[in-house]
Structures are given as C-alpha cells and as structure tokens.
Amino acid sequence: MEIRRATESDAEAIAALVGELADPFFVSPTREGAEAFLAAIGVDAIRGSLASEAFSYHVATSDGRLAGVVAMRDGRHLFHLFVAPAFQRAGLARRLWHLVESEALEPGAPDAFTVNASLAAVPVYRRFGFEPDGPMRVREGVMFLPMRLTRPPAASDEPC
C-alpha cells in the first residue's frame, strides 16, 4: 500500500471512488435535488480542489488501484475520506485520517476539526474522536451529521 500526495492525474479516479461511495449522503435514492453536491464531487471540481492551496489531498493505492482518498480543507475540515470496499475494515481510513491530522497539527494549528458525516460513517468518526456538533441536516438533497473533534490546547513549555 502506497500513500502519497494526490496529483491532477488522480482526479478521475478520485471522482469515481467518491461518486461510487456517496449514496449514504443522498436523501433520494435517485439523487434528485443533489445536483450541487454531485457537481462538487465531479472530476472538474476535484481538479479545482487539487489545484487549490486550501486543500490537501492524499491517495492510497494498491497495485496501481485507488484504495482510498482523504482531503482536508483549510487545515481543519475533513472534506473527503473514502475507502474502496475491498480495502475497508483494514485500518486504511484511520491511516489516512492520521496523515492529514498530523499535517494540520503544526504550530498555529486549529484546536478543532470538523466533518460532515454520512449516517453510515458516524461510527467511524466517533472512533477517531469526533462528536456530533448539532442535529442531522438536509441540504440540497444531501443528509449529513456535522461533527467536531476538539483538541486540548498544546502543553506550554512555560512554567505555571
């Protein structure tokens, strides 16, 4: 398993994986009303995000096949975390989360991370330490639970 920073050449595979696994977000099984969300997970949107300094994308590959993707926006919002079915339940999501989390935990880092979790992903995020940050929401045909992980302040070297 190789984990590396994503490049523009990964955009199509990322969009395909996210699109394949996005069903738990949709209010309607036909995805009706979710056109804005679908556009946001499309190839062009992924390319734009990969080119943006606001996003940090990484991919995990196995034998040339995309196994998972993680993206952090603005160093504080877990934007994407998707693992292909064949690679689920093997710790890959946790490895990807810890990678972007550790990148974000540099000096001046945020004290909290957020994610908009599908109902199916809530148990995974709870295991990472996230807690619900409000009620389930429905917006533009998509249902999600806002979640937050708050980090304790870093220990100071200064005496008390």
Note whether residue 112 is domain-resident: yes
Coil vs helix vs strand at 125: helix
Average confidence score pLDDT of the chain? 91
Note whether residue 160 is domain-resident: no
Rounded average pLDDT over 47-62: 96
pLDDT in tens, 133-154: 999 999 989 999 999 999 765 5
Alpha-carbon separation of residue 127 from 26, 70, 93, 124, 143 (angstroms):
23, 17, 11, 5, 21
Helix (H) or strand (E) holding 77, with range, is: strand 77-83
The two three-digit tokens of residue 31, written as one number: 């995805």
Note whether residue 155 is domain-resident: no
pLDDT at 157: 47
Domain count of the chain? 1
Instruction: Say what percent of the chain tops pLDDT 70.
Output: 91
CATH number of the domain residue 78 falls in: 3.40.630.30
